[in-house]
Amino acid sequence: MTAPSVPETVTLAGGAAAPLGAADAGSLRVIRARHPWRWAAAGVVLVLLAMALNALVTNPAWDWPTVGRYLFAPSVLRAVVLTVQLTALGIVLGFLLGTVLALMRMSRNPLLASVAWGYVWLFRSVPLILQLLFWYNLAILYRRISFGIPFGPGFFDVGTMDLIGPVTAAALGLALHQAAYAAEIVRAGFLSVGHGQLEAAAALGIPRARQILRIQLPQAMRTIVPTAGNEIIGLVKGTSVVYIMALPELFYQVQVIYNRNGRVIALLLVAAIWYLALTTVMSVAQYYVERRFSRGSARALPPTPLQRARRLLAVRRQARARALADAGTAS
Amino acid sequence: MVDVRGVHKSYGPLEVLRGVDLRVGAGEVTVVLGPSGSGKSTLLRAVNHLEKIDRGFVAIDGELIGYRRSGDRLHELKEREILRQRSRIGFVFQSFNLFPHLTVRQNVAEAPLSAQRRPREEVEELTAELLDRVGLRDKADAYPRQLSGGQQQRVAIARALALRPKVILFDEPTSALDPELVGEVLEVMRDLARSGTTMIVVTHEIGFAREVADTVVFLDEGLIVEQGPPAQVLDAPRHERTRAFLGKVL
Ligand SMILES: Nc1ncnc2c1ncn2[C@@H]1O[C@H](COP(=O)(O)OP(=O)(O)OP(=O)(O)O)[C@@H](O)[C@H]1O
Ligand SMILES: [Mg+2]
């Protein structure tokens, strides 16, 4: 280097930052800040995790062989299917009714609004387990159900027992209870949409139903989905309450089995593993549904874990290809 | 064309409009000036019945807005009919109010498709043409949050134009914008004015008023204090209040 305009070595006065010269621009290397405490905390957590895992695996009382034997037993699988069915019915019917209730509550008709309010009040106040027992015993309260003109003649009637079997009663009970919560979740979602949106839609003359479905609902979904996800996962586990109706869903079924063979812990583990599996699927689904409805909310959507992994692999591959190419030219 | 007669509007004890009369002929641009709180937004919102009025009426092309007349009574129309009337009146908000979950193209096409039920092909063509006109052809598939404020407001103008409106109402369309973005929006509005669009514009851009307006209206405390061609109202205001206001904004 001849007659550099910037001195080769910069003396630091009392640790003050050296002024940057033009010549430095290309040669400077970025060193990331170090976080020793992060590493320490991570170390502690790892040790604790290892201890917990060790206790879980080595203690014979957990009885892992039995867990393995019953995890995919046909009776358990049937119970899982029933649990999934109850959850699905509870959620779909619950949210349909909940949405209707939310729209009623927000309507300008005071009667509709009060009825919706009363519904939410009632079904949120009575414990789910009591509601289920009422539905279970519906046949005692009303022996026959008749269809016809309200307060007028009935066209035909059926025995309550024939119409509402235990599965229907359970699904209905879950759905009606869920609807009360769903109504509030949906309403909160609609309230979260800015007033300017409705004003713009009204100013454009967009029909009312279309305003709700095309403008409000998709934006409301951004608030609805996370809370609804919570509810759905709650309901997966909530179906276990249905055991009091003697329905062979997951929790009831494992009780039946451990009452027979006495392996309580192992079978509770089987149930726990299945609940974990089901809620995991729900959580992943929620992630993608949320992503779907966050379109336009951020400048760019963050990549999904899958896309991230793929991109990482692609970068690696390119780096390797470049290294090979460099090696080729060097030799 | 637009005929505002004796419009009164109160919020509780507060009288915001106290008998406003305003005529805007076809193809004319009227700029409404006035201090904050004088009722400019309320007046615009009364024109497309976003705000119900207490007395007086608004008519566009001889059609009463928001009401049906029988004898000496005005009956409020059903929401569906009001929505139909609004679908021929454009409104551009200060805060844009674009639909954030829809792309630019969908924002523009929504009302022609759902409010006016025009065929999709025709609407697609119209959308492309309008985005061209506001200089945003390459942003058709962007979402509003990916655009600058000036671009968003131009989309909002295209969205209003897509209704093929009889009149477009602008409520301070440039007030939420950074100074360097104001020009691009005013340019689009100037272009609209030249092509004979009927416009009522609330703005503090005196330069725009001077250059584009056919009529300048000065509103104060719910009354029109003075109106006339820009040269008269802006340069030789007769009223003390107008002079005081112009002294502040110029
Ligand atoms: N919904 C409402 N309820 C009560 N008062 C209101 C309501 N909307 C507006 N006002 C009042 O009416 C008056 C006129 O409001 P308006 O928005 O029309 O003013 P403006 O001339 O547009 O003012 P700016 O230039 O600040 O936008 C204000 O005093 C405001 O506080
Ligand atoms: Mg205003």
Cα–Cα distance list, A159 to A136, A147, A247 (Å):
14, 12, 21
Q: Is A43 left (phi over 0), alpha (psi -120 to 50) or beta?
A: alpha
pLDDT in tens, B116-146: 999 999 999 999 999 999 999 999 999 999 9
- Are B8 and B18 in contact, with CB atoms under 8 Å apart? yes
Per residue of chain A (331 residues), give pLDDT as tens.
444 444 444 444 444 555 566 556 667 778 888 888 999 999 999 999 999 998 888 888 888 899 999 999 999 999 999 999 999 999 999 999 999 999 999 988 999 999 999 999 999 999 999 998 888 887 667 767 777 677 777 677 766 666 667 888 889 899 999 999 999 999 999 999 999 999 999 999 999 999 999 999 999 998 999 999 889 889 988 888 888 888 899 999 999 999 999 899 999 999 999 999 999 999 999 898 888 888 777 656 677 778 888 888 888 888 888 877 777 665 5
Residue that has been written with the tokens 């009354």 in this structure: B223
> Could you tell me if A322 lies within 8 Å of chain B, comparing CB atoms?
no
* CA-wise closest residue to B181 among B136, B145, B151: B151
DSSP state, residue B162: T
Distance CA A90, CA A171 (A): 6
Q: Which two tokens stand for residue A208?
A: 């009312």
Its pTM stands at 0.80
Q: Which residues of A touch B101 (CB under 8 A)?
A: 218-219, 293, 295-297
Binary contact (B88, A293; C-beta < 8 A): no
pLDDT beneath 70: ranges in chain B: none
Question: Which residue of B lies nearest to A198 if distances are taken between CA atoms?
Answer: B97
Cα torsion A52, A56, A61, A62 to 10°: value is 140
How far apart, in whole angstroms, are the C-alpha atoms of residue B155 and residue A211? 19
pLDDT digit string (tens) for A268-308?
999 999 999 999 999 999 898 888 888 777 656 677 778 88
Would you state the pLDDT for residue A271? Answer: 94
User: Which string of DSSP letters, residue by residue, matches A45-68?
Assistant: HHHHHHHHHHHHHH-GGG-HHHHH
Q: Which fold has domain A85-247?
A: MetI-like fold (1.10.3720)
Best probe residue, ligand 1, of B7, B14, B204 (max atoms within 8 Å of C-beta): B14
The Cβ-side half-sphere exposure at B191, using a 13 Å CA radius, reads: 15
Provide the terminal-to-terminal Cα distance of chain B, rounded to the nearest Å.
31
Q: Which amino acid is at A270?
A: V
Residue of B nearest to A211 (CA): B114
Query: Which residue has the CA at smallest separation from atom 28 of ligand 1?
Result: B37
Query: Whose CA is closest to atom 25 on ligand 1?
Result: B36
Q: How far does the centroid of ligand 2 lie from the alpha carbon of residue A5, in Å?
A: 59
Q: Which residue has the tokens 């970025």?
A: A30
In angstroms, the Cα distances linking A168 to A87, A161, A241, B115, B219 are 12, 10, 15, 42, 66
Cβ–Cβ under 8 Å, residues A186 and A224: yes
Residue whose token pair is 């089995």: A257
**What is the C-alpha radius of gyration for chain A, rounded to an integer number of angstroms?**
31
State how far the Cα of A79 lies from the Cα of A251, in Å rounded to an integer. 8
Give the pair of three-digit tokens for residue A54.
């060790």
Residue A296: φ, ψ to 5°: 85, -10
Residues with CB under 6 A from ligand 1: B 11, 14, 16, 34, 36-42
Phi, psi of A6 (to 5 degrees): -110, 135
Is residue B98 exposed (0-12), middle (13-18) or buried (19+ Cβ within 10 Å)? buried
Pairing outcome for strands B89-92 and B167-171 = parallel
Contact (CB, 8 A) for B158 and A204: no
